[in-house]
Structure formats: C-alpha cells, structure tokens
Chains A and B, each alone.
Chain A
Amino acid sequence: MTDKADPAYDETYDKASGKPSDKTPGKPSPVGRRVIIGMLGLGAAGIVGGATIQRAIDRALAPVSKSVSGLVPAAGGGFRFYSVVDEVKPRPPAAYTLGVTGLVKAPRTFTFADLRALGQTRITAEFHCVTGWTVPGVRWQGVLLRDLLDRVGLDPAAKALRFRSFDGAYTESLTLAQARRPDVLVATSMLGGPISHDHGGPVRLYVAPMYGYKSLKWLSGIEVVDRVVPGYWEERGYDVDAWINASNGYG
C-alpha cells in the first residue's frame, strides 16, 4: 500500500492520504542548522562588540551589583583572581621584605613593619581589569611609592621603575613621572584588612589610574632603571601606559 517511512526522516503516516506524511509537507526546514549558524553569528558579533555591551551592562547593573556579584559576569563587586603561574607560595608578613635597588643613592630593604611605619595613604576607587570586569569602591592603604623613592634617593640617570613579583614570573614597569603620582601605592591593606594571598598580599602595587595588570601582585622588588622595560603582559601585547579608558583599545 505504501512505502515505509524513510528512517532518515521523522514522520509518520498521514492517515487520510495513506502516504508518509514526511513527503506531504515537503522537506523539513533546517531549523537546527539555522540555530547553529545564528549562534555563530551572535558569537562573532559578541566578540566584536562585547567590550561595549559589557560596559552598558555594568552601568545598568551598578545599582544591584552587590547582590548579583559572582553570578553575573563582570557585574561588579567581585574580583577575579589571575595569576600567570601555577602556584605562588604564600609569604607571611613576618618573612616579607621589599628590596629597592638600581639607580639609587642608598639601596634599602624594607620589612613589612617598615612599610606600615611609614606615612600611610588611603585611596578608595573602582578597580578596572583590562578584560572588562570592574569592582566599585575598593579601599586601599599603603605607602606612596614616591615616599619610598625619596627614602632611598634617586640617581640622576633614573628614568623608570621595574617591579618584580615573588611569583617568580610577573614584572611591571612605570615611568618616574607615573610613579610619583599621588595615587600610586605600595599597598599593605585592601578592603579594610590585610591583603589576602589571592589578592597578591602581603604587599602589592596599586596604580589607581591604570588597568589592573599594572598593579603587580606579590611585590618583592623595585629596581630603578634608566629606561622603561615592558612588563609581563606588555610583552604580550598590552599597552605599557595602561590608562583606564585611554589605552588598550578603550576610549
């Protein structure tokens, strides 16, 4: 009476006509393929326009960011912890030292207690990661970098600073002019308490006007040099002068 339905198709017999109904309405429409192509198109559009869209979402979510942090991507309120190495051995404050060397009059090593004993500066600001997430109202406390530099005294040839991390891999740089800004800290406190290991404690750099990758974590050494040496991410394509909203393709 009739052919068995082609098992490649997804239909039954049409009782009225006695024909396999997969033939009756014509070919099935390839909705699955369209969904996949549509998603690939949206994905590509998201890659191109995502930076802009994310900013708009952040602004829209700002009033509720505290309650959705950690759930909604980059909605603010939550840090993401980045490290360029597999594992960083924690260093307790008692064992911590910061060497300031290079083109200085009197190289010196500061202990954690030394840093706490110097004049403290507090800054509260929004933290911006270059990959798009931000955290509003982060409280920092520490020694102004320029105060440390004044303690050791600079050689006339000094032009820039090179920072090292005790993760063994990360480096950063600042020009002397940038380092002397009043919003650049050698931070010993964050979010109202000690800087946690995950946040780069016990001591990290905090460069308020620049993207987070300039605020080197696990600070272990400052070398005064005669030219800017690009840091870890800067060798990998990021801008050396990482001004927020005016670098790395933003602004």
Chain B
Amino acid sequence: MTGKGAGDGRRGAINMIDRFTRAERAVHHVTALLLFGCLITAAMLYIPELAAAVGRRGLIKSIHIWAGVALPVPALAGLLSKAFRGDVRRLNGFRPHDWEWLRRGDRRAVRGGRGVIPVGKFNAGQKLNAAFMAGAILVMLGTGLMLTFPDPFPVRLRTGATFVHDWLTLAIFAVTFGHLWYALRDPGAMAGMLTGRVTPEWAARHHPGWLDEQNPDPSALDTVGSSADEMS
C-alpha cells in the first residue's frame, strides 16, 4: 500500500521526511521488548503444557514481574523528549476526522496519491491502540503488584485482581497481534519506525494531514518562509 514509485522508504533519501526521532523510536522499541518479555513469560506461566515443558517457574516468574514493573519506564523516560511529548499530545487528541476515520469503510482509500481522510501524524486506530496500551500497562501493573504482594489484600480482591489480570492479558494479546498485523503489512510504516524516516508518497497516502503540516500547501510555499509570523 506504499507509494510504488518511491519504494518502501529506504531509498530516495533526498526528500525523506523525518517521522520519529531517536528518542521516540527508543521508547517504542524498549516498550515492545518489555511487552514481549511479559507476554512470552505469561504464556510460560499460564499455559499448562508450556509451564510443564519450560519449568524453572521461579526464574520465569521473576522475569515476568521485572519486565512488567519496567514496562511503564520507557514512556515515562520519554517524557524528557519534546518530540515524544508532542506524540503523546497528538495521540491523546481526537478531532472530527478521527471519528470519521473510525466510521467510514473506505478510511484507507487513496485518491490522486492522497488519503481521502486528512489523517494527521497518527490515525484514529493508532491513537486508540496507544491509549489502550497505556491503560492496559497501568491496570496490569496495579493488579500485578497486588498478586506479587498479596498480603495486605483480602482474598476477594486477590481473586478480582487475578480476574482482571487474566482477561486483560487476552485483550493485550489480541491488540498486540492487531498492531503487528497492520505494521508488518506496511513496509513504509515499518521503515518509519525502524529508521525514523518516510517517503512523502507514503505520508501522502497514510497521513496526508501530517504531510501538509511538514510541507504546507505548495501554493503557500512562497509565502510561508523561514518565519511564519512575518507573513501573517
């Protein structure tokens, strides 16, 4: 689904657009690594056949707990980066076109090389994915700490924490698979997250609003100079 002429974003470095800084990518990659650590050890602790085959329950449990406790750290550290703070703001905010993106069956349609909906840096699905993961990490951290240190809690609440931790795990597996499904089918998006840069053709198809923001309307190029304020 990427712009054919421009390849998948690795070639044609001349007019590539910066999408993610090193800090933004580091937050993503470290979070992804920790999440995989949690999910793989979760499977080893939970699925009876795997649990019996792998053994070493003490070690696996320690990895699971430490990866889980560390999971919010990259995003918190990322707040030191201005670019990441900007991403958080963008991911948080829904605009009318985001609701339109969710409603419309042709949300990914492209006309004349541009996506039909003026999607910004993140589409509504990416925004919901980010919000879900943020909420999920916090809820899993809370319930996980209750299960790791159960002494202060009555049994009823421990059972409730187990219930939440178990069912939310299923949801996280589903959402993570969905995220990977869309990412792996889109080499332009992969390049964006791996190298930090994308082609303008890819941006025009998937994030036309964001592209315009980087590179305002060509007809306005002459008037939007080095300092926009001077031109107002």
Give me the interface of A with B, judged by CB distance under 8 Å: 1-5, 7-13, 15, 21-22, 25, 27-33, 35-40, 42-43, 46-51, 53-54, 70, 72-74, 78-81, 83, 85-87, 130-132, 198, 236-238, 248-250
Contacts and interface: CB of A to CB of B under 8 A. Distances in A.
Interface residues of B, number: 70
B167 A47 contact: no
Contact of A49 (B118, B136, B158, B160): B160
A30 B92 contact: yes
Contacts of B217: 13, 15
B161 to A, nearest CB: 5
A167 B171 CA distance: 35
Contacts of B192: none
Interface of B: 46-49, 51-52, 55-59, 86, 89-96, 98, 118, 120-122, 127-128, 130-132, 134-136, 138-139, 142-143, 146, 150-151, 154-164, 166-170, 208-210, 212-213, 216-217, 220, 223-224, 228-229, 231-232
Contacts of A2: 220, 224, 228, 231-232
Nearest to B55: A87
A50 B163 contact: yes
A35 B132 contact: yes
B166 A32 contact: no
9 nearest A-B residue pairs (beta carbon): A28-B93, A50-B163, A86-B58, A39-B135, A50-B160, A10-B120, A73-B166, A43-B139, A32-B92
Contacts of B138: 36, 39-40, 43
B93 to A, nearest CB: 3
B206 to A, nearest CB: 14
B160 A248 contact: no
B130 to A, nearest CB: 7
A7 B52 contact: no
